[in-house]
Chain A
Amino acid sequence: MDDVQRVNDFKARIGAGEKIESTDWMPKEYRDLLIKQIHMHGISEIMGAYPEKEWVGKAPTIRRKLALNAKVQDEIGHGQMLLRLAEDLSRPYGRGREALMDDVLEGRVKFHNVFHLEAPTWADAGVIGFMVDGGAIITQAMLLDSSYAPYARMLKRIVAEESFHMQHGESVVLALAEGSEAQRAMLQGAITRWWPAMMYFFGPRMMGPSSQKMMDYKIRTMTNEQLRQKFINRYVPRIQALGMAIPDPALYQDAATRTWHYTDPDWEWFTAVVHHNSGPMSQARLSLRREAHRGQQWVREAAIEAGRVLQERGA
């Protein structure tokens, strides 16, 4: 069978709703799109640990501390599961965990715009759970139908855990909304900070060629704009119900089409942040990741060596 025929057969299988496994033959284009998507998703989970990690040590109650610690742990856990998938897909390229992690440090893989930003108050920790995790659930719920079965399976687990994150974030937000003037002001500050970032989160109105191809291959099934509309529709009434302002005077819903109109985020600025790691916290968080990964390469090497010694001793 020639390659063109093979690719066409593959596309037909996907068109018929079949799911693909890691050991199945797949076109290079499909493999590369999956690697790009899952690698970025996994790395975003890992980089997402840093803005919230800062608040574990300062959490205001024992319960909040335990929950936030567990939440950050889940993010790392999702990163671990997703990287394992990306690693398996990258095997034909001879690339494993080490190479995929090096990609972050050397700017070869991007991570979500939200994790380049500052989280200067406790309310930010809550709003990240409430809005960022809420946004992530919307994206991931779409991916549950992905044509790549290992990704869809793993996402089932991830979405279940994200729903705890959203509940936790909501609980923090609600406590602040029910609190003192100072607590409410802190909450408003965080919502004002994160709203434009959430408008960027789902990507440009017009999707790029690779996002379009991901739709063709049914890796994803909805457009950026469809996802953003779902988000706005869900969050606007809730934020307003809390008596909080949304920092967008142009925001309104068309009564006839039910479409939300909103002010565009600063596309250029956010895109530069993501592409060049030039956000306010990009370099600080990358240097934490570098310290963990490169700084402790000796530990991983020692563990591999010790594993060999153990095996030789038959222990």
Chain B
Amino acid sequence: MTAKEGRKEGRKEGRKEGRKEGRKEGRKEGGSVMAIEETPVYEVFVQADALSFPTHVGSVRASSPEFALQMAREAFCRREAAHDVWVARADAITKARSDSATLPRQGTDKRYRLPGGYDNAPHWKRFKAMAMTIEEVAADMRTKPGR
């Protein structure tokens, strides 16, 4: 079959299978066929383990939330197990990047609210006492009381 015949056959098939007009993404392409209805897109978030947050990994097309979960598992968890998987219709997600007013950006000096913005250690040293860090407190919590 030549490429030209192939195209012709494609159009014929397109009509036969009843491509529908006026659906969501329905639009004239190259003046030939009407695009058929698209399967919805779900964004996929995988939570690797109990202490991780769900992270966006990609998206799948699926006709229902049930299928979206099944397909998310296939598309993104073929090798490793997951603690949980979330799917959400892509059109239900609003992103900040397209609205610069709400996009978090580094503006004025925010060091006053960061641990690194403080320098207490030399002062503690003057009082002959040890400075504390959150890591050291957390490590202490893992040892038995009274040690």
A97 to nearest B CB, angstroms? 6
B73 to nearest A CB, angstroms? 12
B97 CB-CB contact with A under 8 Å: yes
**A277, A294, A306 interface centre (most CB from chain B within 10 Å):** A294
Would you call B29 and A95 a contact (CB within 8 A)? yes
A21 and B35 contact, Cβ closer than 8 Å, known pairs A106-B10, A107-B3: no
From A47-55, A111-119, A264-272, A297-305, give the one contacting chain B.
Answer: A297-305
Would you call A102 and B3 a contact (CB within 8 A)? no
Partner of B97, one of A23, A105, A297, A307: A23
Partner of B39, one of A157, A286, A304: A304
Would you call A95 and B35 a contact (CB within 8 A)? yes
How many chain B residues have a CB neighbour from A under 8 Å? Answer: 33
Chain A: interface size category? 35 or more
Would you call A154 and B36 a contact (CB within 8 A)? no
From B58-66, B104-112, B132-140, give the one contacting chain A.
Answer: B58-66
For A90, give the chain B residue with the smallest CB separation: B25
Interface of chain A, main secondary structure: helix
Partner of B25, one of A23, A96, A311: A96
Interface of chain B, main secondary structure: mixed
A246 to nearest B CB, angstroms? 34
Partner of B64, one of A73, A81, A154, A306: A306
A205 CB-CB contact with B under 8 Å: no
A107 to B25, CA, bound (A): 22
Would you call B36 and A277 a contact (CB within 8 A)? no
Q: Which residues of B contact A24 (CB under 8 A)?
A: 97
B126 CB-CB contact with A under 8 Å: no
Partner of A283, one of B1, B64, B95: B1
Q: Which residues of A contact B78 (CB under 8 A)?
A: 70, 73-74, 77
Q: Which residues of A contact B67 (CB under 8 A)?
A: 303, 307
A167 CB-CB contact with B under 8 Å: no
Beyond A81-B58, A107-B3, 14 additional pairs, beta carbon < 8 A? A24-B97, A73-B78, A77-B74, A77-B75, A80-B75, A81-B75, A94-B27, A95-B35, A98-B36, A276-B3, A300-B63, A303-B63, A304-B39, A307-B63
Q: Interface on B for A, CB 8 Å cutoff?
A: 1, 3, 6-7, 10, 13, 17, 25, 27, 29, 33, 35-41, 57-61, 63-64, 66-67, 74-75, 78, 95, 97-98
A-B contact pairs, 17 of them (CB 8 A): A23-B97, A77-B78, A84-B60, A87-B41, A94-B25, A98-B35, A98-B38, A105-B10, A107-B3, A154-B58, A294-B17, A301-B17, A301-B36, A301-B37, A303-B63, A304-B40, A306-B64
